Amino acid sequence: MALQGTLQNIAGGIMLLVLRPFRLGDFVETSALKGKVIEVGLFATKLRNTDSLYLLAPNSTLRNTSIVNHSCEPERGQENRCGCWQRRGYQFGIANTAGNYFLRPRVQKNPPPRVVIDDVAGEKVTIKAEYWAETAQ
C-alpha cells in the first residue's frame, strides 16, 4: 500500500516535470494550497506561502487537481472595488480612483484603466476599477 502511494508521487513528479504547469519562482494556487514554487522534486513540490511558511505538496495530489499559475503571463487583468457615499461626492471618488491607477507604475497605460460605477445601494455607491498590470516577480 505504501509503495502504491510512492509510485503515484513519482508518476505525478514525472508528469509535472514533463508538462511544466509551473516553474521555480511561480506563484501557484490549488484548491488547498497557495504559494511560490521553491522546489519541484520527484515525490513532492515545495511551496512558500505569503506567511513565509513552507508547504510540501505530494506530486500525486498536484497531478490530480486544478492548478492556477498566477505568474505565467507578464501581465494580468485585475479589478478592485471601493465604496463611497453619494452625498460626499462620488464623482470625486471616481476621478480620484482613476487618477490613482494611472499613476501606479505597474499598471498598463494601454488599454487604459477603466473606472465605473458598479453598484448603487441606497446612499452607497460602489466604484470598480478594471486594469491590466505587470505580474509581480
Q: How many domains does the chain divide into?
A: 2
CATH code of the domain covering residue 39: 2.30.30.60
Distance in angstroms (rounded) separating the CA atoms of residues 109 and 86: 29
Residue 63 sits in the same domain as residue 91: no
Q: What is the DSSP string of 102-120?
A: HH-TTB-SSSPPEEEEEEE
Residue 99 sits in the same domain as residue 120: yes
- Domain end: 16, 46, 69, which one? 69
Q: Which residue carries 511561480 as its cell?
A: 26
Residue 61 sits in the same domain as residue 91: no
Mean pLDDT split into 10-residue runs, the chain, 137 residues: 73 76 90 92 91 91 86 84 79 80 84 88 89 79
Q: Considering the entire predicted model, what is its pTM?
A: 0.62
Distance in angstroms (rounded) separating the CA atoms of residues 44 and 63: 11
User: Which domain range does residue 123 map to?
Assistant: 75-134
Residue 41 sits in the same domain as residue 81: no
Q: Cα–Cα distances in Å, from 105 out to 35, 62, 115, 134, 137?
A: 24, 35, 17, 9, 14
- Domain end: 13, 34, 69, which one? 69
Distance in angstroms (rounded) separating the CA atoms of residues 33 and 108: 29
Residue 10 sits in the same domain as residue 64: yes
- pLDDT value of position 137: 56
Please state the φ and ψ torsions of residue 112, each to the nearest 5 degrees: -70, 155
Residue 8 sits in the same domain as residue 57: yes
